[in-house]
Amino acid sequence: MGSTKQTTLRLSDERHRLLDEAKEIGANGQYDDPPNSDVIDAALTHLIESRENLDAARGEIDPTTIQLFNTSVLGLRYRTSIESRWR
């Protein structure tokens, strides 16, 4: 059996607000109150899957369209560079 790491999260007012808002998104109905750990797991999974999906879309979808899905947490940048083979 593997060891588990436990930590205590100190929730600022803003973190508490975000957690409550995320609980509403993840709740299965009006009277569902998912545990904080489930909400955090879902948020982490969503972040990872979103990044994988955006990375997979590169080359298939134009950069302007992909950038429409950028958020304050996750965003892709495209850079244009010109390189000369002549010196």
Q: Where are the domains of the chain?
A: 13-67
Tokens for 41, please give them. Answer: 């797991």
Beta carbons of 33 and 19 less than 8 angstroms apart: no
pLDDT tens digits for 55-83? 888 878 888 887 787 777 777 666 655 55
Q: How far apart are CA 82 and CA 87, in angstroms?
A: 13
For residue 57, give every residue at least 6 positions away whose Cβ sits within 8 Å of its Cβ, in sequence order, or none.
66
Q: What is the pLDDT of residues 10-38, one digit of tens each?
A: 888 998 999 999 999 888 888 889 998 89
pTM over 0.75: no
Rounded to an integer, what distance in angstroms lies between the CA atom of residue 49 and that of residue 47? Answer: 6
